[in-house]
Structure 1
Amino acid sequence: MRLFPRLLLSHLAVITAMGAVLVLTAELAAHPFIQRHVDEMVRQMGGAGAGMRDDLSHGMRETLTRALLTALPLALLVATATAWIAARRVTDSVRTLQAGSAALASGEYGRQLPEGGQDELAELAHSFNVMAGTLAQVEQGRVELIGNVAHELRAPVSAVRGYVEAAQDGLMDSQDAMGAVHRELGSLERLARDLSLVSRVEAGQVDLRPQVTDARTLLEHAQQRFALPFEERGVTLRVGPLSSPIPVWTDPERAAQILGNLLGNALRHTPPGGRVQVGAHARAGQVQITVQ
């Protein structure tokens, strides 16, 4: 049996039981009450009222019973209508929640339920909406993670391809090319370690190993890493000028990762014949690295 008939039948059972209790209680409680009033009426009527005691008592009890039997159907009708409305409201809310859950299960994380009212059903709808919003954020994070991983893989893979092709064409010494490829493989290994620690990344617990580093070294390594891809695209990559050391407290590996992402973006969006300028400046106790 579905929820609405069960709720309605349970309400009707309670209404019927309460009606029976009401009639029984009225009949039992009315007897002494009626008897006191009959005695008072007989006393006021004197001797003439003594013979009417039974008739008065019977008439008053019969009147009460008829009044109860007349009012009871109307009360049951009103109670039944109220029970129907209450059961319908509960089942409508359950159906709405069921439809929302089905949509959520099919991947529609943007589904929201109406939150009207101040009762538990409204609180349940609010909790559902919060859950749907959280799942939507998780899904968005998953999509962004896939995009970020693809973006992270693109730079070292492109660099490795450039070094290998340069070595094959005789444009770069094989030993230098192997050293450069080895560095890029280190970047790929770092990415693999990061992917194995996704839960820690989401919790904001990324491992950082900061140390004093010369910003010029970061830029020079980046220039060496992207020299061939920029040359192949016909884009000029310039660094500096950097005349004096620029010490900075940073994680060199993470800083190189960020700088590589910026240079990769610049390379994709700069047309052939264009120029990309990279610089570093000490300012107010911090170091600002720019890619223009």
Structure 2
Amino acid sequence: MWRQLKWRIVGGNMAVVIAGATLVLLMTQIVTRMVVPEPILAEVRHLAEASDPAGAEVATAVLLDTFRGTIITAVLVGTIGAIFVGWFSSLALARQILHPLNQLASSSQRIANGRYDERIPIPDSAELASVATHFNQMAQALATIEEQRITLIGNVSHELRTPLTSMIGFLEGLMDGLFPSSEETYAPMHAEMQRMQRLVDDLQTLSRVEAGA
């Protein structure tokens, strides 16, 4: 995908360069056929007539052809140079754009795999810098949510372990005959079960709130 985008950027820039160079060549040919420096023509005619009056027109035509050819050659060389410059500058521009995007794609994949500490450097381009900044803010928010989730799981595990441990102790005592089967024995177990029920209700409420957010 990125390779295709790279060549689209390069191709678009090169199309502009080639179109501009073609227009310059066409305009050069038209202008050199229409506009000829009159002082040069007068001097050529004067010299040609002084040496060979019969060949004055031929000499003038040769000079005009040479003049036009020189201009067209110069423009053509400049055009080829512009194409090479456009090619390398397009590659540099494509790399400048695609390198941060490649980093963004790689970091996104690592975050999807659970690497919430992943961050990308801020590029020089203002537009890409904005994207990178928002990406890092998103990654930080995900890391914070993950930390809160881990903390919540730890707290819930601790809160559930206490009543479970108490209930297991009471049940083992009843099974071993250490506690009498009376209301005084079952009352603490009932209290611990109510405590567990409150924890479960709180978790369900939290789950609904986060789902609604």
Q: CA deviation at 1:201?
A: 6.5
Say yes or no: does 1:183 pair with 2:195.
no
The answer (yes or no) to whether the contact 2:100–2:123 under 8 Å persists in 1 is no
Alignment-derived partner of residue 71 in structure 1? 78
Cα offset, 1:147, TM superposition: 0.7
| SS of residue in 2 equivalent to 1:139 | helix
Does structure 2 retain, via aligned residues, the 8 Å contact 1:167–1:174? no
Return the alpha-carbon distance in structure 2 between the equivalents of residues 139 and 26 of structure 1: 67
Structure 1 position 191, deviation (Å): 0.8
Change in CA separation of 1:156 and 1:179 when aligned onto 2, cut-off 3 Å: same
Q: From the superposition, tell whether residues 123 and 28 of structure 1 become closer, same or farther in structure 2 (CA, over 3 Å).
A: farther
Give me the TM-score of the superposition, normalised by structure 2: 0.75
Q: Alpha carbons of 1:95 and 1:166: their partners in 2 closer, same or farther (altered >3 Å)?
A: same
Superposition deviation, residue 109 in structure 1: 1.2
Deviation at 1:136, TM superposition (A): 1.3
Q: Sequence identity, in percent?
A: 30
TM-score (norm 1): 0.57
Alpha-carbon distance in 2 for matches of 1:13, 1:172: 94
* Residue equivalent to 2:148: 141
Q: CA RMSD in A?
A: 3.3
More relative contact order, 1 or 2 (CA 8 Å, 6+ apart): 2
Q: 1:163·1:172 contact (CA, 8 Å) conserved in 2? A: no
Is 1:193 equivalent to 2:201 in the alignment? yes
User: How far apart are 1:164 and its partner, in Å?
Assistant: 3.9
Per-residue CA distance 1:238-266 (angstroms, 9 max, x = gap):
xxxxxxxxxxxxxxxxxxxxxxxxxxxxx
Shift of 1:123: 2.0
More helix by share: 2
Given that residues 164 and 177 in structure 1 are in contact (C-alpha distance below 8 angstroms), is that contact kept between their aligned partners in structure 2? no
How do residues 1-292 of structure 1 correspond to structure 2 at under 5 angstroms?
A: 2-3=3-4, 4-28=6-30, 34-35=35-36, 37-38=37-38, 48=46, 58-165=65-172, 169-171=177-179, 174-199=182-207
Q: For 1:17, give the aligned amino acid.
A: A
Which residue pairs with 2:53 in the alignment?
none
How many pairs are equivalent?
199
Deviation at 1:81, TM superposition (A): 1.3
Task: Go from structure 1 to structure 2 and tell me whether the alpha carbon gap of 1:186 and 1:134 turns closer, same or farther (over 3 Å shift).
Answer: same
- Per the TM alignment, residue 104 of structure 1 is displaced from its structure 2 partner at its CA by 1.4
Q: Identify, as 1 or 2, the structure richer in strand.
A: 1
